């Protein structure tokens, strides 16, 4: 893959030309958190963030969007959520998250809502530095060699830029004089040093390869009930997870001259209505059963199908779940250790 160099002072001039082509979205500050937002003022872009509140899936499958509208004459496909976008600042784990969604939405019955949005979206990745919640090294999603158009590794006074696609190459060609095609030995050394240091910075490790067996062997372990008792069934873990894709469907009747529409809304298997069927039968009435499904999907099912977990190690469930049910604490519990989590302490602290 071609790698070029971009001096830091040329970064905004580069954004300036490319953002004339399509909407530019990037991580910006919101309160003490970060979100992906449309940016026109490049100074708003946060170059050194960890994870954003929501992963970039929100731009490809928005939390709620119309799939089609209808009136007496028939239906009209609605693709209004699709627009040309350039997403800058996507970290390797989130690019892996998108590749995971690709497998689902582009497999078998291809989903045009996802595919069309994906085709119009350019991915400009950005290197990052782990905090105590990141464990992308354990999922091997801290490195990336596909799924982006350009990838920027931040080496303080310059970027190394990987050119991952012909559209990425087109972007460079809009302002070719900003980029240096030859890298010096010291540039390369800088990168190698950066990578070694970065790899050492991961503090959380999870042995994912052991998880499929442990999920099977510990399916009935009592800690599931304890986690289930603590779970608020709020669905936040699914909202923030870059590989959670479940959705609900809702029809809205025509109102005030507007046609009726069928919407798609983010959903979570942790919510109680999720598996209810006619006649009031619910296959997963208990929160413990629903958590087991969530973790079967993350730690086991995907591994059997694709040889890797569907968790990309972004750490969002670690920082989001109010009762500390997350991939780290659950895998600790699966390994038979004390996960040192709120939900695990709960039974002894809250005496009935």
Partner 1 sequence: MNGETRCREEGNPFLPHPARIVRTYPLTQDVKFFQIRFLNMDQALAFKYKPGQFAMISVLGAGEAPFCLSSPPSRPGLLEFCIRKAGSVTGALFDLKENAMIGVRGPYGNGFPIEQMAGRDILITIGGLGVAPLRSVLLYCLDNRDQFGKVSVLYGAKKPSEMIFREEYFALKERGDLECHLAVDADDTGSWTENVGVVTTLFPKLSKVNPENTYALVCGPPVMYKFVLREFVKLSIPKNQILMTLERRMKCGVGKCGHCAIDYIYTCLDGPVFTYWDVLHMRELI
Ligand X SMILES: Cc1cc2nc3c(=O)[nH]c(=O)nc-3n(C[C@H](O)[C@H](O)[C@H](O)COP(=O)(O)OP(=O)(O)OC[C@H]3O[C@@H](n4cnc5c(N)ncnc54)[C@H](O)[C@@H]3O)c2cc1C
Query: Would you tell me which residues interact with ligand X (CB under 6 A)?
Result: 276-278, 280
Query: Contact between 179 and partner 1 (CB under 8 A)?
Result: no
Class of residue 216 by CB neighbours under 10 A (exposed 0-12, middle 13-18, buried 19+): exposed
Could you say which of 35, 47, 53, 234 contacts ligand SF4 (CB under 6 A)?
234
When binding is defined by CB under 6 A, the residue of 24, 95, 123, 327 that contacts ligand SF4 is 327
Site string for ligand SF4, 266-295 (x = CB under 6 A): ----x-------------------------
Q: Walk across the sheet containing 150-154 and list its strands.
A: 33-38, 23-30, 85-90, 121-126, 150-154, 158-163, 2-7, 179-180
Site for partner 1 in 285-314 (CB under 8 A): 289, 293, 296-297, 300-302, 304-305
Residue of the chain from 173, 277, 348, 350 that contacts partner 1 (CB under 8 A) = 277
Q: Which two tokens stand for residue 70?
A: 């209808």
Asked if residue 320 lies in contact with residue 236, where contact means CB atoms within 8 angstroms, the answer is yes
Site string (217-246) toward partner 1, x via CB under 8 A: --x-------------------------xx
Q: Which stretch in 7-15, 135-143, 250-258, 317-325 sits in contact with partner 1 by CB under 8 A?
A: 250-258
104 binds, among ligand SF4, ligand X, partner 1, none (CB under 5 to 8 A by kind): partner 1
Closest approach, Cβ 208 to partner 1, in A, equals 16
- Each residue of 235-265: b (16+ CB within 10 Å) or e? bbbbbbbbbbbbbeeeeeeeeeeebebebbe
Least separation, in Å, of the C-beta of 62 and ligand X? 23
Measure the CA angle with vertex 254, ends 253 and 255; round to 5°: 110
Stretch that binds partner 1, among 107-115, 123-131, 316-324, 334-342 (CB under 8 A): 107-115
300 binds, among ligand SF4, partner 1, ligand X, none (CB under 5 to 8 A by kind): partner 1
Question: Does 260 interact with partner 1 (rule: CB under 8 A)?
Answer: yes
Q: How far is the CB of 226 from partner 1 (least distance, A)?
A: 20
Q: How far apart are CA 55 and CA 33, in angstroms?
A: 13
d(CA 282, CA 273): 8
Indicate the residue among 137 and 292 with the shorter CB distance to partner 1.
292
Shortest approach of partner 1 to residue 254 CB, angstroms? 8
Which residues contact ligand SF4 (rule: CB under 6 A)? 231-237, 240-243, 270, 298, 311-317, 320-323, 325, 327
Residues that bind partner 1 (CB under 8 A): 67-68, 70, 74-75, 77, 104-105, 107-113, 219, 245-254, 260, 262, 267, 269, 274-279, 281, 283-284, 289, 293, 296-297, 300-302, 304-305
């Amino acid at each position: 893959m071609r790698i070029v160099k971009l001096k830091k002072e040329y970064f905004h001039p580069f954004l300036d030309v490319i953002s004339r082509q399509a909407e530019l979205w990037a991580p910006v500050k919101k309160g003490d958190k970060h979100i992906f937002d449309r940016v026109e003022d490049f100074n708003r872009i946060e170059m050194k963030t960890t994870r954003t509140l929501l992963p970039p899936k929100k731009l490809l499958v928005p939390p709620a969007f119309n799939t089609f509208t209808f009136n007496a004459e028939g239906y009209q496909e609605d693709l209004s959520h699709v627009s040309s976008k350039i997403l800058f600042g996507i970290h390797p784990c989130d690019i892996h998250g998108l590749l995971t969604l690709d497998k689902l939405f582009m497999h078998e019955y291809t989903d045009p809502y996802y595919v069309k949005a994906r085709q119009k979206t350019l991915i400009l990745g950005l290197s990052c530095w782990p905090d105590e919640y990141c464990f992308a090294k354990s999922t091997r999603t801290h490195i990336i060699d596909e799924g982006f158009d350009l990838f920027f590794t931040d080496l303080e006074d310059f970027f190394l830029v990987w050119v991952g696609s012909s559209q990425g190459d087109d972007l460079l060609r809009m302002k070719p004089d900003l980029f240096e095609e030859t890298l010096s030995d010291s540039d390369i050394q800088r990168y190698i040093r950066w990578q070694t240091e970065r790899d050492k910075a991961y503090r959380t490790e999870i042995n994912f390869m052991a998880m499929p067996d442990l999920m099977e062997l510990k399916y009935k372990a009592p800690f599931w009930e304890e986690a289930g008792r603590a779970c608020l069934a709020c669905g936040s873990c699914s909202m923030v997870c870059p590989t959670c894709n479940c959705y609900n469907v809702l029809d809205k009747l025509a109102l005030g001259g507007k046609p009726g529409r069928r919407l798609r809304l983010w959903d979570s298997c942790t919510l109680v209505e999720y598996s209810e069927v006619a006649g009031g039968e619910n296959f997963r009435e208990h929160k413990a059963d629903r958590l087991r499904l969530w973790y079967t999907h993350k730690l086991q099912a995907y591994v059997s199908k694709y040889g890797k977990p569907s968790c990309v190690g972004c750490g969002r469930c670690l920082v989001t779940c109010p009762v500390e049910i997350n991939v780290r604490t659950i895998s600790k519990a699966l390994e038979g250790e004390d996960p040192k989590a709120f939900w695990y302490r709960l039974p002894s602290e809250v005496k009935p």
